[in-house]
Amino acid sequence: MHPLTDAEATAVIKESITRIVPDADFSLVRPDDRFRDVLELDSLDFLSLVELLSERTGVRIDEEDYPELTTLADATRFLVGRSQGAAGSPP
């Protein structure tokens, strides 16, 4: 896994949400909006998103990390930070 840039992380988040909610309208979501509320993701949708993000990025996401995935900006920051930390650690 390579360290993610902000643009890569945001793209992965949006693509992953679109796989779960195909008609997700990101024009309604500002970076600091709670995207679960705006896009009406239920708990199962959110868990699917967490799994998909983890699979696609190689970033481990634990339950205690869920509050970091509230807004697009927070989720981007989390994935970028975690990918940079993981890239420097041995496999």
Share of the chain above pLDDT 70, in %: 92
How is residue 74 written in tokens? 């927070």
pLDDT for the residue numbered 90? 47
- Is 36's pLDDT higher than 70? yes
Beta bridge partner(s), residue 71: 34
Asked if 61 and 86 touch (Cβ cutoff 8 Å), the reply is no
Place 85 in a pLDDT band, splitting at 50, 70 and 90: confident
- Is 20's pLDDT higher than 90? yes
- The predicted model scores a pTM of 0.89
Q: Which of 51, 46, 44, 45 is nearest to 70 (CA)?
A: 46
Which residue, chain included where needed, has tokens 């970028």? 80
Place 25 in a pLDDT band, splitting at 50, 70 and 90: very high
Mean pLDDT, residues 6-27 taken together: 96
